Protein backbone atom coordinates (compact mmCIF):
# COMPACT_ATOMS: atom_id res chain seq x y z
CA UNK A 1 0.00 0.00 0.00
CA UNK A 2 1.35 3.37 -0.93
CA UNK A 3 0.19 6.96 -1.14
CA UNK A 4 0.20 8.77 -4.46
CA UNK A 5 -1.35 12.20 -5.11
CA UNK A 6 -3.15 12.05 -1.75
CA UNK A 7 -4.69 8.71 -2.70
CA UNK A 8 -3.87 5.57 -0.72
CA UNK A 9 -3.42 2.61 -3.05
CA UNK A 10 -4.48 -0.85 -1.87
CA UNK A 11 -3.07 -3.65 -4.00
CA UNK A 12 -5.62 -6.47 -3.88
CA UNK A 13 -4.57 -8.14 -7.13
CA UNK A 14 -4.71 -11.93 -7.23
CA UNK A 15 -6.91 -11.99 -4.11
CA UNK A 16 -10.39 -13.50 -4.10
CA UNK A 17 -13.48 -12.53 -2.12
CA UNK A 18 -13.57 -11.50 0.66
CA UNK A 19 -9.91 -10.41 0.76
CA UNK A 20 -10.18 -7.25 -1.42
CA UNK A 21 -12.93 -5.93 0.87
CA UNK A 22 -10.91 -6.84 3.97
CA UNK A 23 -7.82 -5.06 2.63
CA UNK A 24 -9.87 -1.92 1.92
CA UNK A 25 -11.57 -2.16 5.33
CA UNK A 26 -8.19 -2.38 7.09
CA UNK A 27 -6.96 0.72 5.27
CA UNK A 28 -10.17 2.65 6.02
CA UNK A 29 -9.79 1.89 9.75
CA UNK A 30 -6.51 3.80 9.88
CA UNK A 31 -7.52 6.66 7.56
CA UNK A 32 -9.24 9.91 8.54
CA UNK A 33 -12.52 10.98 6.88
CA UNK A 34 -11.95 12.45 3.44
CA UNK A 35 -9.07 10.12 2.59
CA UNK A 36 -9.31 8.63 -0.89
CA UNK A 37 -8.48 4.97 -1.26
CA UNK A 38 -7.91 3.28 -4.61
CA UNK A 39 -8.25 -0.51 -4.62
CA UNK A 40 -6.67 -2.36 -7.52
CA UNK A 41 -8.26 -5.80 -7.87
CA UNK A 42 -8.31 -8.70 -10.31
CA UNK A 43 -11.41 -10.36 -8.82
CA UNK A 44 -14.38 -8.99 -10.83
CA UNK A 45 -16.60 -9.54 -7.78
CA UNK A 46 -14.84 -6.60 -6.12
CA UNK A 47 -16.74 -4.27 -8.47
CA UNK A 48 -19.91 -5.07 -6.54
CA UNK A 49 -18.49 -6.17 -3.17
CA UNK A 50 -16.47 -3.05 -2.35
CA UNK A 51 -19.23 -0.54 -3.33
CA UNK A 52 -21.80 -2.55 -1.32
CA UNK A 53 -19.50 -2.60 1.72
CA UNK A 54 -18.78 1.13 1.29
CA UNK A 55 -22.49 2.04 1.14
CA UNK A 56 -23.30 0.07 4.30
CA UNK A 57 -20.39 1.70 6.14
CA UNK A 58 -20.96 5.32 5.05
CA UNK A 59 -18.16 5.70 2.49
CA UNK A 60 -18.55 7.20 -0.98
CA UNK A 61 -17.53 5.52 -4.24
CA UNK A 62 -15.77 8.11 -6.40
CA UNK A 63 -15.00 5.98 -9.48
CA UNK A 64 -14.81 2.45 -10.83
CA UNK A 65 -12.73 1.44 -13.84
CA UNK A 66 -11.98 -1.84 -15.57
CA UNK A 67 -9.35 -2.78 -18.11
CA UNK A 68 -6.49 -5.20 -18.72
CA UNK A 69 -8.01 -7.74 -16.31
CA UNK A 70 -7.83 -5.21 -13.46
CA UNK A 71 -10.61 -3.38 -11.70
CA UNK A 72 -9.98 -0.13 -9.86
CA UNK A 73 -12.39 1.18 -7.25
CA UNK A 74 -11.76 4.59 -5.70
CA UNK A 75 -13.63 5.55 -2.55
CA UNK A 76 -13.65 8.40 -0.08
CA UNK A 77 -13.65 7.57 3.60
CA UNK A 78 -16.79 8.84 5.34
CA UNK A 79 -17.30 10.02 8.90
CA UNK A 80 -16.79 7.38 11.56
What are the pLDDT digits (tens) for 34-72? 999 999 999 999 999 999 999 999 999 999 999 999 999
**Does the pTM of the predicted model rise above 0.85?**
yes
Catalytic residue among 7, 15, 17, 47: 17
Domains of the chain: 2-76 (3.30.110.40)
Around Cβ 62, how many Cβ atoms within 10 Å?
Answer: 14
| Residue 41 annotated among the catalytic residues of the structure | no
40 contacts 72 by C-beta, under 8 angstroms: yes
Amino acid sequence: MSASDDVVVVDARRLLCPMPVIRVQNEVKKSPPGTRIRAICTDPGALSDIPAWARVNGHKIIATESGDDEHIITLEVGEA
